[in-house]
Amino acid sequence: MKRTLARLAFLIAIPFATWGHIGASTVFYHGNAGPYAIDVIVRPPGVVPGRAEVTVRVESPDVGRVTVQPVRWDAGTKGAPAPDLAQPVRGDATLRSAELWLMDFGSYSIHVAVEGTSGSGKAVVPVMSVATRRLGIDRGLGVLFAGLGLLLFVGALTILGAAAREAVLPPGEVPDAARRARGRRVIAGSALVLALVLAGGRAWWNSVDARYRANMFRPLHITTGVRSVASQRVLHLAIDDPRWLAQEPGRNRFSPLVPDHGKLMHMFLVREPALDAFAHLHPLRLDPNTFDVRLPPLPAGRYVVYADVTHESGYAQTLTDRVDVPEAPSTAAPGAAPEPDPDDSFHVAAALGGAASPAAPLADGIVMVWQQQEVVAGQPASLTFQVRGSDGRPAALEPYMGMLGHMAVRRDDGSVFAHIHPAGSFSMAARQVLERGADATTKPVDHSEHAAVAGGTVSFPFEFPQDGRYRLWVQVKVGDRILTAAFDADVAPKR
Amino acid sequence: MSNAVSLDQVGPVPTERSSAVPWYLYALAVGSTSIIVGAIWDISWHSTIGRDTFWTPAHLAMYLGGILGGLSSGWLALKTTFAGSAAERGASVPLWGFRAPLGAWVAIWGAIAMLTSAPFDDWWHNAYGLDVEVLSPPHTVLAAGILGIILGSLLLSLAWQNNGRGPGTGRVQVLFGYSAGVLIALFALLVMEYNAPNQQHASLFYQISCGLYPILLLAAARGSKLRWPATTAAAVYMLLIAAMLWILPLFPAEPLLGPIYNRVTHMVPPAFPLLLVIPAFGIDLLLRRATCKSDWVLAAAVGAVFFALFLAAQFFFSEFLLSPLSRNWFFGGDRIWSYDARPGPWRYQFWNQAQDPLSLRGLGLALLFSFLSARLGLAWGGWMARVKR
């Protein structure tokens, strides 16, 4: 019955965001647990408490048991329930699945343990437990509830009327006019009382709903602005959310920020509506609430700001705002602009729709080719790109902030934004925080210790949450230069 | 179909009915018990294991109890309507063309409400998350349904008791007392979030209890023909809860949800029941000796007796329950905490002592509630004593 009801009930889509994600909550993990290469997909429930769907793919044939365990950041494995056995999925020998209950709001990690003849290993996958959706009542369910409610209401009145009219009459005695009138009076009075009870119930339901909505995930509010400093444009970002500013001792909802690959904030700028100009910047923290960053030579216009941050708890979120970027100043204003971060980068391409080619020129004859397959909404896919040098041979990729590549994805209307690594769609800082004391023998694919990777290929695990037109920016490092390619994708509807 | 039954169709009703206790009275009593046991079991399940589905044994016990009550009453309605003797039809009330004793209709309503709560609760979980609180709108519909089953059981045995003359009447009187005890247990469960021993030095606990229990105890006392009716009902309530307190911890279980702050190893029991037999005994004694005609005066006296005895009993008993002396299988002290309860001194302290201490005003309000509740109980019990159908 639950399945039917779940199907009956439809979701009211509400824009939401978790780390690196607007509108895409599925978490991907590509890496290994001890000797086993694994791919993990976690679909968070969208309600708290709720059940997350976890699938684990282990290609190795000598795997015995795979278990999954939800661990809340502040309770650790000591406070975690016993691990659940992930059950093999019929028809696919490499796939296992399990349902896990996330009972509380906040930062969780899923511990995936793999045992087999090659030994055992454990991976830690960060997951944010947040309420992101609100369920409506569809017509069928509404009619069912209304019908049963009416039956109970009328039934209760009729029973109360009958009780008042003749319950105390000796058996066989027919109620006289006075008793019948009494029955009618009781029905009228009870109708009034029951209506009041129902009104109270409605108010109660509304208050539960309001409390739920207040607890739904909202990223911290930020305000951004651009000012001229020296001959530069400087973007200023202030976290001005009361939930962040009014931190009560012992009751902090948000722990301080921690660096992700040495940066407290990874900021993406995308010019609207053409999605032609793009930047990946690393603002400098001035104090716990404010950040500054020197803008690269981007064209003027209205930009969306996506700022990825990770908290000490492992909780990660994407803060967003819109900002008007003016033309670069022609005269030098007083002051000194902050130095740009060496990992900052930007890219200007054709407007959305103009980058449909699977081959994007980078620089000096270097080309990135999207080994494109058909992309369908709601289906996990590995998006693979190959970088070729001017000689047509695969280029050697160098790690860019610890990763072989970075990909940003945005739907044309802004309802989806995601920042993905080859290792998956979670914050690497969150993983590091959550792995502490987790006894993990894990390693998501992390190329920071590699000098360079030959083959020139980089893949990103991702699932487009809905159909439509998307722009993808793929960033790699070749010859100590950060190179960005833009691609457009038309994602087919779910089958 | 005619709703009216003419007098000449009806035979000498009481003598015909008093020969044996009908099976459906037992079925309703068993159903009510199954529901209450299931409800306490379910609360323990949520405190111990956490993870549940529709098909946990605790849920099944509740729904089977509801179905047993509903089907027995449905059968009774069909039999009375289509194959009932004149006497049976005469001792029934009409509803939408059918005839059945009042209690059967109330129980059928309860079963429908219980079944309605299932899809509502399922939707609620999908919309707002899994159970966080005992009291939620769908659980209230469920509780109303359970109330229907228990009240149905109560009314069916009442009608039989009030018409009966024969050898089965004694057993039916006991059944009525038993149903009254189950009813008290249901309401005690509904307010369990305000019932912990740690809350029994604050005014709110006494206000809730004084508003709730006198009406139930006095309705039982006035409606029953037993010698010690309120005491019987209170004892049934206490034994039901105590039995669960003694039995549940015998079963090993571990939490399947996290975060776990309290590593429980066995099913978590309910807290030791309230010592309701003490004020109930006082009520029975008073009612046996009272000679006054006015229910208002009587309610004032009974309300005061309940208030004084209940306060005296719980105030000191809760101190005992928080002390190391109670930490054994019999009293279950300090064993009532769920897997997600953080350890700390708060477990051994009285709560809300600063915000809501036992003040003159707070206790005065409790006394007032006790009086009003007693007055309503006397009225309801008076009606129940006259129920014949």
State pLDDT tens for residues B365-387: 999 999 999 999 999 999 999 99
**Rounded distance, CA A57 to CA B327, Å?**
49
Best B260, B264, B338 member to test A by mutation, with max A CBs in 10 Å, is B260
> CA angle, B114 as apex, B46 and A211 as ends, to 5°?
55
Closest in A9, A48, A166 to B389, CB measured: A166
Confidence (pTM): 0.81
Best B6, B45, B126 member to test A by mutation, with max A CBs in 10 Å, is B126
* Chain A residue closest in CA terms to B262: A79
Dihedral angle, C-alpha B224, B229, B232, B236, nearest 10 °: 40
Q: With CB atoms and an 8 Å threshold, state whether A135 touches B256.
A: no
- Taking CB atoms and an 8 Å cutoff, what residues of chain B touch A131? 129
Q: With CB atoms and an 8 Å threshold, state whether A162 touches B130.
A: no
Please report, for chain B, the start and end positions of each structural domain, with discontinuous segments joined by +. 13-190, 194-389
CA atoms within 13 Å, Cβ hemisphere of A32: 14
Tell me what pLDDT residue A251 has. Answer: 53
Residues B41 and B248: beta-carbon distance below 8 Å: yes
Nearest CA among A230, A294, A241 for reference residue A267:
A294
Tokens of B288: 């046996």
Q: With CB atoms and an 8 Å threshold, state whether A47 touches B129.
A: yes
Residues B307 and B299: beta-carbon distance below 8 Å: no
Using CA of residue A170, residue A172, residue A178, residue A182, what is the dihedral sign? positive
Tokens of B376: 């309503």
pLDDT above 70: percentage of residues in chain B? 93
Q: What share of chain A is helix, strand, coil (3-state, %, to 5)?
A: 20, 45, 40
Average pLDDT of chain B, as a whole number: 90
Pairing of strands A367-370, A442-444: unpaired
Quick: pLDDT tens for A184-206. Answer: 999 999 999 999 999 999 999 99
pLDDT at A76 over 90: no
Helix (H, G, I), strand (E, B) or coil at A212: helix
When pLDDT is cut at 50, 70 and 90, the band that residue A430 belongs to is: confident
Angstroms from B123 CA to nearest CA on chain A:
7
Average pLDDT of the residues in A447-455 = 51
Tell me what pLDDT residue B365 has. Answer: 97
CA atoms within 13 Å, Cβ hemisphere of B269: 24
Angstroms from A70 CA to nearest CA on chain B:
7
Average pLDDT of the residues in A68-72 = 91
Quick: pLDDT tens for B202-256. Answer: 999 999 999 999 999 999 999 998 999 999 999 999 999 999 999 999 999 999 8
* Chain A residue closest in CA terms to B4: A174
Per the rule left: phi > 0, alpha: psi between -120 and 50, beta: everything else, B339 is alpha
Closest in B90, B123, B140 to A5, CB measured: B123
- At how many degrees (to 10) do helices A177-215 and B102-128 cross? 10
pLDDT above 90: percentage of residues in chain A? 43
pLDDT at A28 over 80: yes
Q: With CB atoms and an 8 Å threshold, state whether A168 touches B387.
A: yes
Tell me what pLDDT residue A107 has. Answer: 86
Q: With CB atoms and an 8 Å threshold, state whether B260 touches A75.
A: yes
Whether residue A157 lies within 8 A of chain B, CB to CB, comes out as no
- Residue B253 DSSP symbol: -
Residue with the two structure tokens 């049976």: B88
pLDDT at A23 over 80: no
Amino acid symbol at B223: G
Residues B184 and B131: beta-carbon distance below 8 Å: no
Whether residue B357 lies within 8 A of chain A, CB to CB, comes out as no
Residues B283 and B306: beta-carbon distance below 8 Å: yes
Best B135, B146, B264, B389 member to test A by mutation, with max A CBs in 10 Å, is B389
Whether residue A203 lies within 8 A of chain B, CB to CB, comes out as no
Angstroms from A15 CA to nearest CA on chain B:
17
Secondary structure element (H or E) that encloses residue A460, with its range = strand A457-462
E strand segments, A106-221? 106-116, 119-129, 134-135
Residue bearing the bigger pLDDT, B57 or A444: B57
Residues B123 and A5: beta-carbon distance below 8 Å: yes
Residue bearing the bigger pLDDT, B122 or A23: B122
Residue bearing the bigger pLDDT, B68 or A250: B68
* Chain A residue closest in CA terms to B85: A172
Residue with the two structure tokens 């696919």: A92
Q: Considering the domain A2-134 in this protein, what is its CATH number?
A: 2.60.40.10
When pLDDT is cut at 50, 70 and 90, the band that residue A448 belongs to is: very low
Q: With CB atoms and an 8 Å threshold, state whether A80 touches B388.
A: no
Using CA of residue A133, residue A134, residue A139, residue A144, what is the dihedral sign? positive
pLDDT at B19 over 80: no
Average pLDDT of the residues in A133-143 = 84
Ranked by mean pLDDT, which of A335-339, B121-125, B171-175 comes out on top? Answer: B171-175
When pLDDT is cut at 50, 70 and 90, the band that residue A51 belongs to is: confident
Tell me what pLDDT residue B82 has. Answer: 94
Q: With CB atoms and an 8 Å threshold, state whether A1 touches B90.
A: no
pLDDT at B135 over 90: no
**Rounded distance, CA B121 to CA A261, Å?**
45
Tell me what pLDDT residue A17 has. Answer: 40
Whether residue B119 lies within 8 A of chain A, CB to CB, comes out as yes
> CA angle, B192 as apex, B142 and B210 as ends, to 5°?
105
Tell me what pLDDT residue A8 has. Answer: 36
Angstroms from B152 CA to nearest CA on chain A:
11
**Rounded distance, CA A235 to CA A293, Å?**
5
pLDDT at B117 over 80: yes
Tell me what pLDDT residue A451 has. Answer: 41
Quick: pLDDT tens for B32-70. Answer: 999 999 999 999 999 999 887 888 999 999 999 999 999
Tell me what pLDDT residue A4 has. Answer: 39
Closest in A6, A167, A172 to B126, CB measured: A6
Q: Is the peptide bond before B279 cis (omega within 30 degrees of 0)?
A: no
Residue with the two structure tokens 């009041």: A196
* Distances in whole angstroms, Cα of residue A367 to Cα of each of A362, A394, A457, A482: 5, 10, 12, 13
Ranked by mean pLDDT, which of A10-19, A256-265, B104-113 comes out on top? Answer: B104-113
Q: With CB atoms and an 8 Å threshold, state whether A47 touches B140.
A: no
